[in-house]
Amino acid sequence: MAKLVTKITDAMKAHLRPGEELRAVGQLTSGLPYWLSYPALGLLALIFTKPWWAGVAGDRLILVQLDSLGRARADRLLSIPLDDVAVKDKSLLIHLPGGAGGLGLTSSSNVVTPQLFLCYFGLKRFTGLDVEQFIAALSTPRRQSHAA
């Protein structure tokens, strides 16, 4: 059976721009507002969180939401500039316009609402995912020059 890192890498490659390199991949969860992310809410968090696969490429973070069977959903894709991603304690605070409708991805509001994404990588020897490598890739963007 392929490691999770291979599955995520293969899924992310389909969303790369020409000449863009995938630097790191990971698995995130979202769903609770950042102020409700306390460890004591463990069971509640499992019910309301959504799983995402993530890839760091160039100067952006690519997020693909998973369905209930753990398959990537093509209709739930986000491309976020790394400038809009803050890292704290292996969690990502991402500023999405209008909160992306609570990650329903449609919103009429222009208000920027931070959304919390928690890194959920499992044991590296089983998944192949390296949270330290992922965080380092988020912190050191490689700006690409875009021809006008």
Amino acid identity for residue 87 in this structure: V
Please indicate, yes or no, if residue 145 is contained in any of the structural domains. Answer: no
Does some domain include residue 13? yes
With residue 74 as reference, give the H or E element that holds it. Answer: strand 72-81
Distance (Å, whole) CA 67 – CA 97: 23
Strands 50-57 and 112-119: unpaired
Cβ–Cβ under 8 Å, residues 47 and 67:
no
146 lies in a domain?
no
- Whether residue 12 has pLDDT greater than 60: yes
* 9-18: average pLDDT: 94
Over residues 37-54, the pLDDT tens digits come to 555 555 666 667 788 999
Is 76 among the domain residues? yes
pLDDT for the residue numbered 145: 41
| Count of domains forming the chain | 1
Question: What single letter denotes the amino acid at residue 28?
Answer: L
- CATH of residue 43's domain is 2.30.29
Is 135 contained in some domain?
A: yes
Question: Is-contact 12 53, C-beta < 8 A?
Answer: yes
In residues, how long is the chain? 148
Q: Given this model, what pLDDT does residue 101 score? A: 44
In a domain, 134, yes or no: yes
Contact between residue 117 and residue 28 where contact means Cβ atoms under 8 Å apart: yes
State the pLDDT confidence band at 136, using cuts at 50, 70 and 90: very high
